[in-house]
Structure 1
Amino acid sequence: MAIASRYTVALHILTLLAYSSEHKNNKYLTSDIIAKSVNTNPVYIRRILSSLSSSSLVQVRYGTGSGWCLGKATTEITFLDVYEAVEQKKLFEYHRSNPNEACPIGENIQLSLEPYYAGAEQAMKTYLSRSTIADLLIDTVSMSNLRMNERLHSGVNP
């Protein structure tokens, strides 16, 4: 089971907006610029930005200098905020068709699974609530700097 890529793309978008604002003095980015970083279609990016906007995690500016920016400080945007903004489904889903109720397992499997699924989802949400976009930005920039140094020392042109 994999969490939809919308979540990972949303984290990418928010981290890019944070980086651009903090390191490039460019608070607003267009969906085209964001799409180039993610390497996907700007329409897909705009759909995710719309979900993030509905949760006040990003803001849009129209007209001259148009684009998207963070709606909150990076330290205030948790991974859980992002997850809840872009993922509308429960973490675990049941059968696509109803199990056979004449079977002792089929009759009770979903009801029996519910506390396990609820506990696992709550544990995940608790864990996600501990990390912020600020944390991810620090990690990403640190890794970028480390890779840049490795390329410099190996003689590869960055």
Structure 2
Amino acid sequence: MHLDGRLSRMLHLLLHMAHAEGPITSGEAAEMLNTNPVVVRRTMAGLRDAGLVRSEKGHAGGWTLIRPLDSMTMMDVYEAVGKPRIFAIGLADPAPECLVEQAVNASMTGALHAAEAMLIAHLREVTLAEIARDFEKRAASHVAKP
């Protein structure tokens, strides 16, 4: 099963961008994320359209943040990458004639809606600044191994 990693990849990249001393090129971002620069440009276009980043062409160009991390939530990034499907599980038959399958669907639908609502609420609450602070705390306590 293939999982959609766009949200986590873009969160990762945005935090790197916040610590960069200048624009990050699509090639540099692609190296960081172990992907292709075309994939980076395509995904970053959604973030640009959402007003999170801007791009500059040319020799000194690249991607830069245009909003501070404390004004961006995980939900902003989730929406900017196209609101990927949250769950890989779903109903086997959305309109079954079997009463057992109807009962299963009702139970599954309720559980999936409740779980999605909790996740969406979390995405709305967490800012990228909070994630950055967690990273900084981890970096400060990290002990380099010889």
TM-score range (shorter-chain normalised) is 0.7 to 0.9
Q: Root-mean-square deviation (CA), in Å?
A: 2.5
Structure 1 counterpart of 2:121: 126
Residues 60-109 of structure 1: per-residue CA shift (max 9 Å, x gap): 112342111113111011011111222434424533x6357231033454
1:1-158 equivalence runs, <5 A: 4-20=4-20, 25-26=21-22, 28-92=23-87, 94-95=90-91, 98=93, 101-107=96-102, 109-147=104-142, 150-151=143-144, 156=146
Q: Secondary structure at the match of 1:129?
A: helix
The two structures have a TM-score, normalised by structure 1, of 0.76
1:34–1:89 CA distance, 2 compared to 1 (3 A): closer
Aligned length: 145
Tell me which amino acid in the other structure corresponds to 1:124: L
Q: Does structure 2 retain, via aligned residues, the 8 Å contact 1:11–1:133?
A: yes
1:7 and 1:87 in contact (8 A); partners too: no
Structure 2 CA distance for aligned equivalents of residues 125 and 141 of structure 1: 25
Larger Rg: 1
Query: Where in structure 1 do 4 or more consecutive aligned residues deviate above 6 Å?
Result: none
In structure 1, runs of 5+ residues without a counterpart are none
Q: TM-score with structure 2 length normalisation?
A: 0.82
Q: Percent identity?
A: 28
Within 2, Cα distance between the matches of 1:71 and 1:2? 32
3-state DSSP of counterpart to 2:126: coil
